[in-house]
Structure 1
Amino acid sequence: MKHDKWTLILGGSSGMGLATAKKLANDKTPIILIHRDRKSAMKKIQEEFDALASKTSLITINANALTADGRQGILTRIADDIGDGQIHCLLHSIALGNLRSLVPSEDEPRPLSDEDFGQTIAYMGYDILLWVQDLYSRGMFAPQASVIGLSSEGNQKAWAGYAAVSAAKCTLESVSRSIAVEFGRFGIRSNIIQAGITETPALALIPSHQEMLEDARQRNPLGRLTRPEDVANAVYLLTRPEASWINGALLHVDGGEHLC
């Protein structure tokens, strides 16, 4: 497919990743969408992909993006598919972490382990850096490329069952700042979007998610929950030329929820 600049979305079959793909598709942005879904879920997902493909050039790859072999295989396929094209934006929207409690209970007899922590921090914390390093080493980044990760209020607040993900979000933000500094001279910017509490499939896995939703509704200054489309709008803004001087930032996209 002959296009100069592509957006690569890791974790794009639901939630904020899919919402971003829809936003960018409306702008005719060519999209590469990486997801990992079972065959049983693909009928509904494929309907979403078909809708995207009716608006823009779309490459979808159903593969494990969280292993070294998986990453290299995906990048090789992308390079074959886009030819001389380059990655203008990388959005890391993979939400795969362990939500065990720190303390054993009758419902959850096994508490969070060091392996649980390690995997969660790897997948949701520094995996974004591994993609940046490999895209850079292959010369696949476009000039003035944008790297975007997604964080949450869990970077500072403690929620039951969220300890490992909270640690991963802090790691992600730290790594993003380092990418901003060390890759900046190569024209690669890195920023983090901290979304408000958003009703997504990933949130539903958190044991206390109903309480989190109600709390967010009550304290948000604008009187509603954050929507995936709000985050998609922010990603879109960060990919525009007018955002070329935003680097190493944490952008709150929550209607002011973090203030209350």
Structure 2
Amino acid sequence: MKFDSGYWAIIIGASSGFGLATAKKLASHGMNLCLVHRDRRGAMKNIQPAFDEIAATGAQMLTFNLDALSPEGRAKALDGLAENLGESGSVRLLMHSLAFGNLKLLAPYEASGEPARARARMADLLGVMPQAVDEAAAGLFGEGCPPIHSLADEAEFNNRFLLEEDDFSRTIHAMGTSLVEWVQDVFNRKMFAADARVLSLTSEGNAVAWRGYAAVSAAKAALESVSRAIAVEFAPYGIRCNVVQPGVTDTPAFRAIPGNRQIEAKALLRNPMGRLTTPQDVANLIFLLCLDEASWINGSLIPVDGGERIA
């Protein structure tokens, strides 16, 4: 299946994780791409091969390494896209995949010490040295054995710096309300297709309290709220807006979350499919939502997690 040759996707946060996987998937089906990202020059040696792979599909591709949260950065990217749309080009998809949030704690955290006490008790019952049980638990957990997570050392958190008002405001704008600015600018420039899609990404952390995730959780709640508003207010103009909720996925953004290994282990244990979600799983859903047949889906939060949320 190939998309109309005049269709473009704007992907904000396109150099890794869900954004990059989606870019690869859409390009393989003929979607032209405007990829917006912000990475240091030193990181580009690892990113550029993926961009070269996308370019090899034959789809048109523009890349902008800039601050997507600033009016100047947004204008530069859209000006560049406007020069390449031509008379028949239009934006079929605007995808918001920014992972720029603060992961500080709300309050200092002291580990319970329960895993260490359990290991000591086990060593006593087995008649072995406690160090042997400590090393066995650490080794098994390090090798990816989810059931051992309750015996592994607890996650470490930084108690020196706690969340402040500015941390919340920056995170909520970056990962939440900045979506509105992009939608309004693309709309005002009359760049959207007659049947356009706006998609963004949330997580289970929108409703479950992960330690150190408070600011991002607030941003996800804001993102979901403004997405519903976009779905209602822009619907008369042919714009559908939905939010995708992946299951726990091993991405660079997820690895930055404090305690991510424990979150991952618990997700593996409860997922009916017995594995984590992958960026490709999410890209496949986004591809489906870009099809003509998905035009009646609007204002929804769509899980893509193999049933993880219900198990």
TM score, norm. by length of structure 2: 0.81
Shift of 1:120: 0.4
Residue type of the partner of 1:59?
L
Separation of aligned partners in 2, 1:35 and 1:82: 20
Off by >3 Å, runs of 4+ in structure 1: 104-107
Secondary structure of the equivalent of 2:62? strand
Gaps of 5+ in 1: none
Report whether the alignment pairs 1:240 with 2:291. Answer: yes
Shift of 1:29: 1.2
Shift of 1:70: 1.2
What's 1:136 paired with? 187
Separation of aligned partners in 1, 2:27 and 2:40: 24
Report whether the alignment pairs 1:80 with 2:80. Answer: no
Partner residue of 1:198 out of 227, 249, 259: 249
Shift of 1:28: 1.6
1:150-229 → structure 2 map (5 Å cutoff): 150-229=201-280
- Preserved CA contact (<8 Å) 2:5 2:30: no
In percent, how many aligned pairs have the same letter?
A: 51
What's 1:8 paired with? 10
Separation of aligned partners in 2, 1:67 and 1:26: 30
- Preserved CA contact (<8 Å) 2:175 2:219: yes
- Preserved CA contact (<8 Å) 1:3 1:82: no
Report whether the alignment pairs 1:97 with 2:148. Answer: no
Give deviations 1:112-161, integer Å, cap 9, x for gaps.
00000000000101111110001001101111100000000011000010
Shift of 1:83: 2.8
Partner residue of 1:49 out of 48, 51, 75: 51
Secondary structure of the equivalent of 2:227? helix
Separation of aligned partners in 2, 1:253 and 1:8: 21
TM score, norm. by length of structure 1: 0.97
Separation of aligned partners in 2, 1:221 and 1:3: 39
Residue type of the partner of 1:129?
V
Residue type of the partner of 1:68?
P
Separation of aligned partners in 1, 2:45 and 2:84: 24
Give the number of the structure whose alpha-carbon radius of gyration is greater. Answer: 2
Separation of aligned partners in 2, 1:67 and 1:97: 16
Shift of 1:4: 1.7
Separation of aligned partners in 2, 1:97 and 1:158: 16
What's 2:178 paired with? 127
Separation of aligned partners in 1, 2:15 and 2:72: 21
- Preserved CA contact (<8 Å) 1:88 1:146: yes
Shift of 1:239: 0.3
Separation of aligned partners in 2, 1:129 and 1:104: 34
What's 1:36 paired with? 38
Q: Size of the alignment, in residue pairs? A: 259
Give deviations 1:154-185, integer Å, cap 9, x for gaps.
11000010000001111111110000000000
Report whether the alignment pairs 1:22 with 2:15. Answer: no
- Preserved CA contact (<8 Å) 1:97 1:164: yes
- Preserved CA contact (<8 Å) 2:105 2:158: no
Report whether the alignment pairs 1:71 with 2:122. Answer: no
Separation of aligned partners in 2, 1:101 and 1:125: 19
Shift of 1:3: 4.6
Shift of 1:82: 2.3
- Preserved CA contact (<8 Å) 1:21 1:52: yes
Shift of 1:25: 1.4
Gaps of 5+ in 2: 110-156
Shift of 1:104: 3.7
